[in-house]
Amino acid sequence: MNKKLICFDMDGTVYLGEHLFKGAKETFEYLKQNDISFVFLTNNSSHSLKFYVEKIKRMGIECNEDNFYSSIDTTIRYLKDQNVKTLFVLGVKTFKEELKKHFQLIEDYQEEVPDVVLASFDTELVYDELKNACLYIQKGSKFIATNMDYRCPIEDGLYIPDCGGLCKWIEMCTNKAPIFLGKPEPTMIYQVMEKFSVSNKETMMVGDRYYTDIVAGLNAHVDTVAVLSGETTLEEFQKATKKPTYIIDSIADLIDLLEK
């Protein structure tokens, strides 16, 4: 198989919580030896790239910031392409700091309506912000969201509300649905392919969740590899109308697949 870039989901694909999956280390060593680039894609905008670099390094995989692409990068690039100047953001402090480098952020409610209301995985949300977001959208701000995930997995099989859930709340009030940017939209993969100057035929997407990882790959017209080490089961993958290109038990089987 002649792949030059492999995009990986992280949680459920490479590791679970703090536990690196068997065979993951060998897989990344194989990719390096064979000159295949790898990028970890994340929809989570509540952590900086530095956070992920440290986490993956701690698990024993050599990497740097170039090996990561998040919904933060995707969003900044998208908003710049759209010539957006002013934003009202529902998001954590670190995300807002990153956005401030590129856009004017409106903090409170004011007469001037921002170009965009941007929703993200906001673990620091307060009601007044939610209210202001709804008012701005009703007054004409575009509604954009970093990712459509309704919930985010935590330990013990439990979930907490994510960006998509938050957007539902706003949608119920404003009757407006957002434009979503992270997986399963293909935008993130398109941007990464451009960054690494590779074609869709040379790219592959590996992930555990059908409706985000695999659908993102399908939408971007790249080969997709579903792993059974995470959220979606074999039955669910098989039931899907548009199926992943390959289904493997875990990341440990990826080398064999690439050797074919």
Binding site for Mg ion (CB under 5 A): 9, 11-12, 208-209, 230
C-alpha span between 11 and 19 (Å, rounded): 10
Instruction: Count CB atoms within 10 A of the CB of residue 142.
Output: 18
In whole angstroms, how close is the CB of 230 to Mg ion at the nearest point? 5
> Is the bond preceding residue 184 a cis peptide, omega within 30 degrees?
yes
Task: Name the residue nearer to Mg ion (CB basis): 228 or 255.
Answer: 228
- What per-residue string of b and e applies to 22-37 under the rule 16 or more CB within 10 Å gives b? ebbbebbeebeeeebb
Instruction: Count CB atoms within 10 A of the CB of residue 179.
Output: 13
Helices (H), 68-199: 71-81, 93-100, 127-138, 163-174, 187-195
3-class DSSP state of 124:
coil
In whole angstroms, how close is the CB of 210 to Mg ion at the nearest point? 10
Task: Name the residue nearer to Mg ion (CB basis): 3 or 209.
Answer: 209
In whole angstroms, how close is the CB of 11 to Mg ion at the nearest point? 5
In whole angstroms, how close is the CB of 67 to Mg ion at the nearest point? 17
In whole angstroms, how close is the CB of 153 to Mg ion at the nearest point? 8
Task: Name the residue nearer to Mg ion (CB basis): 70 or 174.
Answer: 70
Instruction: Count CB atoms within 10 A of the CB of residue 4.
Output: 17
| Residue, CB closest to Mg ion | 12
Sign of CA dihedral 39, 44, 47, 48: positive
Task: Name the residue nearer to Mg ion (CB basis): 12 or 217.
Answer: 12
Task: Name the residue nearer to Mg ion (CB basis): 169 or 237.
Answer: 237
